[in-house]
Structure 1
């Protein structure tokens, strides 16, 4: 069984749990207390040198970075659960294109907003509203391009859901929960896509962190 070292409150931990649910991969969550700084302990950084969650231990194979973990698990279990990464060269190229869009256009814009509006308050800190507004303006322009893409196809890489779509869920859900749902809802094609992926049973099982724990 895959051992997932992370935290239910971590967006990256939830992404790995989501992929495990989509692929029907048994896993055990080994909880790391981020507020106590357990991710910075020498025993942790010996395996994850950046002191971040999550990492996995798959029968002695240690791997960190949530997207790398997700790709590894999808490739290891290609015939189990939802495919998520296409094997056809052209379809795979479109997947890689969509994956790059998520990382460099969506995540880089939305992550600072989530940090300011969600994670700072959890630490008793005040959000930098100027920073939020700056990144929100950038995100809005990026989502205009999403609207164009999604007016032509069901998902970002075509008409089948892929890992590129699912990678939006942890940060996107936190963003909507912080009071920004209208940003998605105001664009009809984006709203349709977001409703689709955010209601997938695998995501509903892990999105609030309470059921990230284990699947057997």
Structure 2
């Protein structure tokens, strides 16, 4: 099979890439990386990503790392397949790109720390650092206030269609909706409706089902 995705269960970047592949209805091979065993730091894996991080995507002889770069490649290289996740008109594309940047620079730093403290630490049997949670809840609150205003103007962050600007949020939104941080989303009606919409997409339901099945097997 030409398309391969190397990743780990529990990894938001891995599931971000998986969501794009499934939205595009592509055939691919998912290759689990033993993160606990530090397989991602092995000499063999470092040939795929010199930073020793996941996921890594291969399409024939092409190797791409960084989950957002993977989703952009998939959306553009396979534009004729599955869901169209890119606004092609230049002005609309510019708006989409703005909100993709907002996700990576504003939403990700706050939400990722809350995912780690509130969702992943309990799964791994680690103790949540209650001292830092309020700080990152406040940071996420500020981002979601902006989102609430934006979502009064269009159905999705990047415009009137589902795009990568929305898809990139999916893993962290999914995790946080299983924690007390869900109240931050529900307190904002437009944000709440948007989150419910993107989480109910068939492609993400498949990804979440995969995550649940592997979690039940105590793979992570």
SS in 2 for 1:179: coil
Distance (whole Å) between structure 2 residues aligned to residue 103 and residue 138 of structure 1: 14
* Pair 25,154 (structure 1): closer, same or farther in 2 beyond 3 Å: same
Instruction: Note the C-alpha offset of 1:84.
Output: 0.6
Residue 61 in structure 1 maps to residue 62 in structure 2: yes
Q: Deviations over 1:84-140 (max 9, x none)?
A: 111110011011011011111211111111122233344443222121110111111
Q: 8 Å contact 2:24–2:75 — kept in the other structure?
A: yes
Q: Which residue of 1 aligns with 2:23?
A: 22
Q: Which stretch of structure 1 is more off in the superposition, 170-179 or 203-212?
A: 203-212
Q: Which residue of 2 aligns with 1:76?
A: 77
Residue 162 in structure 1 maps to residue 141 in structure 2: no
Unaligned segments of structure 1, at least 5 residues: none
Q: Which residue of 2 aligns with 1:194?
A: 195
SS in 2 for 1:63: strand
Give TM-score scaled by structure 1 length: 0.93
Q: 8 Å contact 1:45–1:51 — kept in the other structure?
A: yes
Distance (whole Å) between structure 1 residues aligned to residue 5 and residue 94 of structure 2: 29
Number of corresponding residues: 213
What pairs up with 1:93-172 in 2 under 5 angstroms? 93-172=94-173
Q: 8 Å contact 2:10–2:211 — kept in the other structure?
A: no
Q: 8 Å contact 1:29–1:212 — kept in the other structure?
A: no
Give TM-score scaled by structure 2 length: 0.91
Measured on the aligned residues, the alpha-carbon RMSD in Å equals 1.7
* Pair 47,60 (structure 1): closer, same or farther in 2 beyond 3 Å: same
SS in 1 for 2:31: strand
Q: Deviations over 1:56-92 (max 9, x none)?
A: 1111211100000010111101111111111110011
Q: 8 Å contact 1:14–1:209 — kept in the other structure?
A: no
Distance (whole Å) between structure 1 residues aligned to residue 107 and residue 26 of structure 2: 27
Instruction: Note the C-alpha offset of 1:210.
Output: 4.2
SS in 2 for 1:26: coil
Instruction: Note the C-alpha offset of 1:148.
Output: 0.6
Instruction: Note the C-alpha offset of 1:208.
Output: 4.2
Which has the higher relative contact order, 1 or 2, with Cα contacts under 8 A spaced 6 or more apart?
1
* Pair 81,92 (structure 1): closer, same or farther in 2 beyond 3 Å: same
Q: Which residue of 2 aligns with 1:85?
A: 86
